[in-house]
Amino acid sequence: MGALMSNWLTDLRRRSLAFRAMLLAGCIAVILGIVAPIANHFGGSLDVWGALAAASVCLVAGELALLASHIFRGPNQFLWGVLFGMAVRMGLPLVFALFVQFGGTPLAKSAVLIYLVIFFTVTLAVETTLSLPDLKTQHCND
């Protein structure tokens, strides 16, 4: 079972950037499908808009971080990919949260920051999994 899961993850990392980007978008869409009815129940349509805005910001940040890890995938450029990916992945949601809370937008009355934490966590986990380099197994012939 462990080898099957390892092969599945390795195969995902070898897929095209477009496939991995669509997989990330699909995961965010599934979580939005779960969160939106709950948001509507507790906060009405304003919370649904807040959840959609948080999902969109986190998706854009995750896609840009995935792109950075794809562009800077060489062994000499790996650090740049990690640094740029972290800056984008964390910076966009942070700027969005500051803008919503201090900009006087209607979303400030919703639970948008809670939805931002939910979507940020999911995006971080999925994007990190998809951007890891291929694992090369080395066998010792002792």
Q: Locate the domains of the chain by residue range.
A: 15-131
How many CB atoms are located within 10 Å of the residue 133 CB?
Answer: 12
- Give the DSSP letter of residue 111: T
Per-residue pLDDT of the chain (142 residues; tens, 9 = 90+): 556 556 766 777 778 899 999 999 999 999 999 999 999 999 999 999 999 999 999 999 999 999 998 898 877 888 888 899 899 999 999 999 999 999 888 888 888 999 999 999 999 999 988 887 765 543 444 4
Contact indicator for 105, 49 with CB cutoff of 8 Å: no
CA angle 67–71–77, rounded 5-degree value: 130
